[in-house]
């Protein structure tokens, strides 16, 4: 029997988040104080000093902007954008349309001359795989989230080879030394072009440094413009990339339970074996929630989990009214709108996990402040910025209904459900609201104290004004003789009155100065100029590194 996998195409998605403050500090020429992050990206990535020399950049030319430029009926841009709502097109499509102000940048490394880039992986049990890298794309968003997409494809292979590739090539760091010894992670993985090694990872050693795992050198080489060791970015998920995969199988492969077993192993990214990888009853029940079977009667299955996105279809030419001469319909949708929807759903999850981390880091800073009995102005400003960023995500980026047709909406909703997007969004929103409420209560309490101090100062100064005003009244007769125009017998009354009034006045002034000085933190903010560098300092503060930049 010939190999049942007629064609396999997989995009490995690696989500990460850039520490914008650390990068802006290291490359200040591209981000002066009034320049936004997204506006400096193109110039920075094109520059010669964005990173050290990299074979990826030297041999392949590095990342280039890949905006949509053609919008005619036959263009990929038209065929991709038409399935999304107009407001989604404006947000998630990097287009060159004059004054279009997008908050997303898409880059690509184009196919090199002289043959494809090959990705080879092998484990200690001599199982290996070599595939051609057909697509390298990079999505960078204005909030610092990025998604690296590595697309590979192969044809005419066994199920065992197809499953091994997806399971092994997605690994970006080992969870233990046992993984390598047991062949559960590659013993080496490399990118090669015309015999030259562009990047190589052996996973022989590694340690967690500053909470960061030993990220694969393949990923680091592709993100050559960022310095992982300097904490300029961090990976968001676990030790695996997300495989977004399309598999076409031969018509004589089988149906029914056999196709369900294959689908389950693709869906849960397992290796080949007999039957189901897990308990059959448990797996069947799980697959009801994770699989989309609208087109199962035509041999097309879709599946979504938190760590995979699968399209499985029988080899077939014409599908309904879609002619085989126009190309493979399922593959075209896989490479087009479903690919973009997978990127958006992954962006949502990555952003929300980043928010969850930032909420924790901000809460830690507020906790330390409250232990000392005061909140620093900078930390309150950071908290306000975090809430503003979350509102921007909810109001600008996040859409429950991304597309305009039922099938696309259902696909997107299933992927978002697998990613727990709505649960994460609601949880982060609740945490930020509670944090904001706590700060508001603290500020209200401090404001009440400040008002009470002001009332006390007003009372004290008012009493002093009454006293001094009393002595300024134009009384005559005996009053003037004792206090204002003393003679030989009354001058001691005059001197005593002067001393008493002087002591009262100085005491009042001293109390006023003392109250302001001992509560200076409550008042100094109103004297700070909004345009000063000190006022804007929180805008260039890295929560992860814990220092000012």
CA–CA separation, 549 and 542 (whole Å):
7
50 in any annotated domain: yes
Q: Examine residue 215 and state whether it is found in any structural domain, yes or no.
A: yes
- pLDDT at position 328 is 76
Structure letter (DSSP) for residue 11: E
Q: Residue 296 pLDDT > 80, yes or no?
A: yes
State yes or no: pLDDT of 306 exceeds 50.
yes
Residue 394 within any structural domain of the chain: no
Please report the pLDDT score of residue 261 as a whole number.
93
383 to 292, 358, 387, 437: CA distances (angstroms): 41, 10, 6, 11
pLDDT bucket at 95, cuts 50 / 70 / 90: confident
User: Is 327 a residue whose pLDDT tops 50?
Assistant: yes
What is the pLDDT at residue 534? Answer: 41
pLDDT higher at 304 or 238: 304
E runs forming strands in 37-102: 64-65
Phi, psi (deg, nearest 5) at residue 485: -125, 70
The arithmetic mean of pLDDT across residues 513-533, rounded, is 64
Distance between CA atoms of residues 100 and 89, nearest Å: 11
For residue 549, the model assigns a pLDDT of: 40
Rounded Cα gap, residues 229 and 516, in angstroms:
46
What's the mean pLDDT in 37-48? Answer: 85
Select from 4, 84, 10, 82 the least CA-distant residue to 311: 10
Say if residue 540's pLDDT is above 70.
Answer: no
Decide if 387 is inside a domain. no
Give the N- to C-terminal CA distance of the chain in Å, as an integer: 63
Q: How confident is the model at residue 541 (pLDDT cuts 50, 70, 90)?
A: low
Most confidently predicted of 65-79, 173-187, 336-350, 382-396:
336-350
So what's the pLDDT on residue 533? 44
pLDDT class for 535, splitting at 50, 70, 90?
very low
Q: From CA 276, how far away is CA 267, in angstroms rounded?
A: 12
Model confidence at 467: pLDDT above 70: no
pLDDT class of 77 with cuts at 50, 70, 90: confident
Q: How confident is the model at residue 492 (pLDDT cuts 50, 70, 90)?
A: confident
pLDDT for residue 537 is more than 60 = no
Domain count, the chain: 1
Please give the mean pLDDT across all residues of the chain. 84
Q: Provide the β-strand partners of residue 190.
A: 120, 200
Mean pLDDT check: name the lowest of 81-95, 333-347, 421-435: 81-95
Which whole number is the average pLDDT over 525-537? Answer: 50
* Host domain of residue 319: 5-346
Q: Sorting pLDDT into bands at 50, 70 and 90, what band is 538?
A: very low
- For residue 482, the SS3 value is helix
Evaluate whether residue 279 is within a structural domain.
yes
pLDDT at 285: 92
d(CA 362, CA 375): 12
- Assess contact for 66 and 137: CB atoms under 8 A: yes
Say if 479 falls within a structural domain. Answer: no
Q: Is residue 453 part of a domain?
A: no
- Asked whether residue 418 is assigned to any structural domain, the reply reads no
Q: Which residue has the higher pLDDT, 201 or 468?
A: 201
Report the percentage of the chain scoring pLDDT > 90.
Answer: 39
CB atoms within 10 A of CB 444: 10
The answer to whether 205 and 166 are in contact (CB under 8 A) is no
pLDDT in tens, 242-251: 999 999 998 8
Q: Are 2 and 155 in contact (CB under 8 A)?
A: no
The answer to whether 311 and 330 have CB atoms below 8 angstroms apart is yes
pTM of the model: 0.86
pLDDT digits (tens, 9 = 90+) for 406-419: 899 999 999 999 99
| SS3 sequence of 120-133 | EEECCCCCEEEEEE
């Amino acid at each position: 029997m010939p190999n049942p996998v007629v064609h396999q195409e997989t995009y490995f998605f690696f989500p990460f988040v850039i520490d914008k403050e650390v990068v802006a500090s290291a490359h200040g020429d591209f981000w002066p104080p009034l320049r936004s992050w997204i506006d400096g990206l193109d110039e920075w990535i094109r520059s010669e000093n964005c990173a050290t020399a990299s074979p990826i950049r030297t041999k392949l030319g590095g990342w280039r902007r890949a905006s949509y430029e053609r919008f005619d009926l036959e263009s990929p841009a038209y065929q991709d954008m038409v399935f999304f709502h107009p407001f989604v097109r404006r947000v998630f499509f990097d287009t060159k349309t004059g004054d279009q102000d997008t908050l997303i940048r898409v880059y690509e490394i184009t196919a090199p001359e002289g043959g494809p880039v090959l990705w080879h992986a092998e484990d200690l049990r001599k199982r290996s795989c070599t595939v051609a890298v057909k697509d390298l794309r990079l999505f960078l968003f204005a909030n610092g989230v990025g998604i690296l997409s590595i697309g590979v494809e192969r044809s005419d292979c066994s199920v065992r080879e197809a499953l091994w590739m997806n399971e092994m090539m997605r690994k970006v760091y080992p969870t233990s030394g046992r993984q390598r010894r047991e062949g559960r992670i590659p013993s080496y993985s490399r990118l090669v072009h015309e015999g030259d090694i562009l990047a190589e990872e052996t996973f022989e050693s590694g340690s967690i440094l500053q909470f960061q795992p030993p990220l694969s050198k393949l990923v680091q080489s592709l993100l050559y413009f960022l310095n992982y060791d300097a904490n300029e970015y961090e990976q968001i998920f676990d030790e695996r990339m997300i495989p977004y995969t399309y598999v076409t199988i031969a018509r004589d492969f089988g149906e029914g339970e056999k196709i369900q077993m294959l689908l389950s192993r693709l869906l849960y990214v397992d290796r080949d074996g007999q039957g189901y990888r897990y308990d059959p009853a448990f797996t069947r029940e799980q697959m009801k929630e994770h699989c989309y079977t609208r087109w199962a009667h035509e041999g097309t299955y879709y599946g979504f989990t938190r760590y995979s996105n699968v399209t499985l279809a029988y080899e077939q030419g014409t599908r309904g009214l879609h002619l085989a001469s126009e190309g493979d319909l399922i593959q075209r949708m896989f490479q087009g709108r479903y690919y973009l929807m997978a990127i958006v759903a992954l962006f949502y999850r990555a952003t929300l996990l980043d928010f969850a981390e930032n909420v924790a880091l901000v809460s830690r800073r507020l906790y330390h402040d409250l232990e000392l009995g005061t909140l620093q102005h900078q930390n309150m400003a950071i908290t306000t910025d975090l809430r503003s960023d979350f509102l921007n995500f909810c109001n600008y980026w996040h859409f429950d209904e991304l597309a305009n047709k039922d099938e696309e909406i259902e696909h997107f909703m299933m992927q978002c459900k697998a990613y727990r997007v709505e649960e994460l969004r609601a949880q982060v929103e609740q945490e930020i609201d509670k944090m904001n409420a706590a700060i508001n209560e603290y500020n209200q309490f401090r404001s009440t104290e400040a008002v009470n101090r002001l009332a006390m100062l007003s009372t004290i100064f008012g009493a002093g004004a009454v006293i001094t005003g009393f002595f300024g009244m134009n009384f005559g007769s005996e009053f003037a003789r004792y206090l204002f125009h003393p003679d030989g017998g009354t001058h001691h009354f005059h001197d005593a009155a002067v001393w008493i009034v002087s002591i009262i006045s100085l005491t009042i002034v001293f109390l006023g100065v003392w109250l302001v000085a001992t509560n200076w933190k409550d008042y100094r903010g109103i004297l700070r100029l909004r345009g000063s560098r000190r006022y804007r300092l929180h805008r260039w503060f890295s929560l992860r590194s814990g220092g000012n930049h």
